[in-house]
Each structure stands twice: as structure tokens, then as C-alpha cells.
């Protein structure tokens, strides 16, 4: 194994352990005094919970069975709860300090019970919100768009993250929603799979039922490459999806291109790939590129519209704030970068916690004008 994944795993586990310790310490400090046995039991449970997600993720990358799937689902839900419990713990201490400064009775058990209950409700709302996929409709005007494409529609479905959380039933639901919209083309700009060992053939099978007159097109995201991009690409081809790996196709006069995540992450490689596609600047071009960055290179290549995902819009507060710091206004929605338009979808699925707070799962129906 390379050094950077090990460092990443160690850092993530360290962060989760500290967060879990802080939540556990706050609960003990704010509740009625616990017996030594109760305190020891609570700390032991907290340690096990802090290890659960990283352990389940590592198992999920190597094994596919009901027990591993169940463990991963439990750990992912707990990861979401931990996020909200951590902020509840922070507010507990803030409330206690404020009460002390104002010389008010502390009422610590009531403070903890209220704030942790609100945290649990936030997580419940996030789970319900994540299940409810919206359809967002956007009209796009592209220069040099062939007349044949005016009035046609294309459906953008990113970040399904098919795996132990979003299984075959989820995929069937997404495909059924897509079919009802009757798009002329379907674009899948990455992270169709979660990268886990979870029966990719079965997970992708519902796509056989999805028909679009001008085709279905896919380019890889980072999670697709975690699980073996070539393996996934072959499965998608078997299900009628055109995989664009440094490729361009011209469909009824419209150029559709796709670049893989791994190469597109490097500016020089991305420029070389786009130069190698020999894009016709006299015709509109749509690029499937998983991450909404390196935009100056894409614009200079003559692309009119880039379709991206990856950010999830942040998925869960406060990561909604963090992604805005990283990607700016290109975190979500249709934005301009000079002559280039960039559409970043928040995606239909979730990574990690099956929750969304501050964002919505979606598929985007584009209408070309």
C-alpha cells in the first residue's frame, strides 16, 4: 500500500477518536454522576464506535457479504450521528459557560438532554432528506449548438455511489425516475459506484432498462477509480452505457467528451487529453469531468459546457461551508467561467452517512435552447 492512503486512514481515525472522546466526555460531565462501572462501559462503547467506520470501510473494500454490508450501514449512520453529537457537545459547553457567567443555575442534565435530542432529530431529518431525490430543471444556451438539439433534453445524474449503502433498490428507483423524464440523452459524470466490493454487476443491472434516443454517457470519478475503473467500465458497457475515457463522440452534430478523474486532476495531463480530442470549435461541446476545477484549461480547449459532481454540495453541515471554501461558487449549480458554463450537481446519492442537511439529492434535467 502507498504511504498516502495509510496517512489518510491514520489521520481520519485519529480525528474520529478525538471527536468520539469529546462527545463521551461531555455526556458524562453533563449527566448525573455515573458509577465507575457505568463510566467504563460508556467509554468502551465510545472507543468501539470511534473505530467502526474506518474498520467497516476497510472491510467493505475487500469483502462483499451481508455481514459486512450491515456493519458498514451501521457505521455510516453512526458517523452521521457523531457529526451532530459533536456540535451538540460544543453547544453544551458554550451553554454551561454562558450560564456560569450570568450566574444562572447550570441545569446540566437538561442542557445535554435538549441539545443531544435536537442533534438526533437533525440526523433523522438528514436521513429522510437524503432519500427524497429532487428533479431540477435548467435551460441551457450553448453557442454553436446544432439546430437539431434545440428543445431536446439531457439528464445529468452524478454521484450515485452504488455500494453497501445505496444498493440495487436505490439504483432501480433512480432509473425509474429517469425513465419517466424521457430524456434524449443521459450524462453520468462520475462516482456511479462507491468503490466498495459490493457486487457491481448486480448494482448496475437496472440501467439496462433505461433508454435514451441519443445514448447514455459516463466518465469516471474518484470512487470509480478506487474500485477499479476498467472493471466498472466493462460492466457499464454491458449495460448499454458509453464510457468516455479520454474520448469524444459526435452525436447529431453535438460533441460529447469525457475525461477520467485520475488524469484530469493534473493540469498538464488534462490539457494534453483535451488537445488530443481535437475539439471542433465551430461546434458545441459538452465535457463530462467529475470535479469542477481546472476550468481555465477546459475553457481554453473550446468546451462550452462542463458537467461535474463530486462536491455533493457539502452533503452535511458544516461540510457545506468547507466545500464552498474549496470550490467557491462552482460548488453547486450552473455558473460561468468566461465562455465556459459549468454545471455542478449535488448528486443523487451520498457518501458515508446516508444523510443530507443543508443540501438536497438531485438529478438535473437540461433543456437546450
Sign of CA dihedral 115, 118, 123, 126: negative
Are the C-beta atoms of 316 and 355 separated by less than 8 Å? yes
Cα 154 → chain centroid: 21
pLDDT tens per residue across span 289-311: 999 999 999 999 999 999 999 99
Kindly calculate the radius of gyration of the chain based on its CA atoms and give it in whole angstroms.
23
Question: What predicted TM-score, i.e. pTM, was given to this entire model?
Answer: 0.93
330-366 pLDDT tens trace: 999 999 999 999 999 999 999 999 999 999 999 999 9
Residues 6 or more apart whose CB falls under 8 angstroms from that of 143 comprise: 284, 304, 339
Domain with CATH 3.60.21.10 in the chain: 134-368
- What would the mean pLDDT of 6-29 be, rounded to a whole number? 92
Q: Give residue-wise pLDDT tens across range 261-300.
A: 999 999 999 999 999 999 999 999 999 999 999 999 999 9
Contacts of residue 255, defined as CB under 8 A and 6 or more positions apart, other chains included, come to 248, 249, 279, 280, 283, 284, 285, 286
Please give the pLDDT value at position 31.
84
Q: Please compute, for residue 185, the number of CA atoms within 13 A of its CA located in the half-sphere on the CB side.
A: 22
For residue 1, pLDDT beyond 70: no
The CA distance from 53 to 49, in Å, is: 8
Considering the chain, what is the average pLDDT of its residues? 94
Instruction: Quote the CA–CA distance of 311 and 358 in Å, as a whole number.
Output: 13
Per-residue pLDDT tens over the stretch 104-144: 887 899 999 999 999 999 999 999 999 999 999 999 999 99
- Alpha-helical (H) ranges within 132-192 are 168-181
Euclidean distance between CA atoms 278 and 219, whole angstroms: 18
Please give the class, per CATH, of domain 134-368: alpha beta
pLDDT computed for residue 2 by the predictor: 62
What is the Cα–Cα distance from 192 to 189, expressed in whole angstroms?
A: 8
Amino acid at each position: 500500500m502507498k504511504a498516502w492512503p495509510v496517512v489518510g486512514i491514520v489521520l481520519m481515525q485519529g480525528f474520529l477518536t478525538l471527536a468520539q472522546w469529546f462527545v463521551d466526555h461531555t455526556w458524562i460531565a453533563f449527566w448525573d454522576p455515573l458509577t465507575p462501572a457505568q463510566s467504563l462501559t460508556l467509554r468502551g462503547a465510545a472507543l468501539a464506535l470511534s473505530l467502526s467506520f474506518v474498520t467497516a470501510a476497510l472491510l467493505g473494500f475487500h469483502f462483499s457479504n451481508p455481514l459486512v454490508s450491515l456493519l458498514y450501514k451501521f457505521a455510516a449512520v453512526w458517523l452521521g450521528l457523531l457529526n451532530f453529537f459533536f456540535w451538540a457537545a460544543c453547544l453544551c459547553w458554550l451553554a454551561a459557560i454562558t450560564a456560569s457567567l450570568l450566574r444562572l443555575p447550570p441545569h446540566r442534565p437538561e442542557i445535554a438532554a435538549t441539545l443531544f435530542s435536537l442533534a438526533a432529530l437533525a440526523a433523522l431529518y438528514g436521513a429522510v432528506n437524503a432519500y427524497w431525490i429532487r428533479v431540477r430543471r435548467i435551460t441551457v444556451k450553448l453557442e454553436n449548438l446544432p439546430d437539431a438539439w434545440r428543445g431536446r433534453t439531457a439528464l445529468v445524474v452524478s454521484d450515485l455511489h452504488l455500494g453497501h449503502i445505496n444498493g440495487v433498490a436505490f439504483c432501480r428507483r433512480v432509473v425509474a425516475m429517469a425513465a419517466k423524464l424521457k430524456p434524449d440523452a443521459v450524462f453520468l459524470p462520475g462516482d456511479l459506484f462507491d468503490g466498495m466490493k459490493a457486487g457491481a454487476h448486480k448494482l448496475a443491472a437496472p440501467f439496462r432498462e433505461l433508454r435514451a434516443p441519443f445514448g447514455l454517457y459516463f466518465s469516471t470519478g474518484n470512487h470509480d477509480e478506487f474500485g477499479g475503473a476498467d472493471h466498472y467500465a466493462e460492466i457499464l458497457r454491458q449495460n448499454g452505457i458509453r464510457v468516455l475515457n479520454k474520448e469524444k463522440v459526435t452525436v447529431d452534430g453535438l460533441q460529447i467528451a469525457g475525461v477520467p478523474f485520475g488524469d484530469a486532476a493534473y493540469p498538464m495531463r488534462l490539457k494534453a487529453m483535451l488537445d488530443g480530442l481535437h475539439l471542433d470549435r465551430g461546434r458545441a461541446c459538452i465535457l463530462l469531468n467529475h470535479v469542477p476545477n481546472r476550468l481555465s484549461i477546459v475553457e481554453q480547449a473550446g468546451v462550452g459546457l462542463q458537467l461535474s459532481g463530486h462536491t455533493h454540495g457539502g452533503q452535511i453541515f458544516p461540510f457545506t461551508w468547507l466545500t464552498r471554501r474549496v470550490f467557491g461558487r462552482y460548488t453547486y449549480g450552473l455558473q460561468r467561467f468566461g465562455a465556459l458554463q459549468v454545471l455542478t450537481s449535488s448528486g443523487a446519492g451520498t457518501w458515508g452517512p446516508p444523510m443530507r442537511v443543508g443540501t438536497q439529492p438531485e438529478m438535473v434535467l437540461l433543456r437546450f435552447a
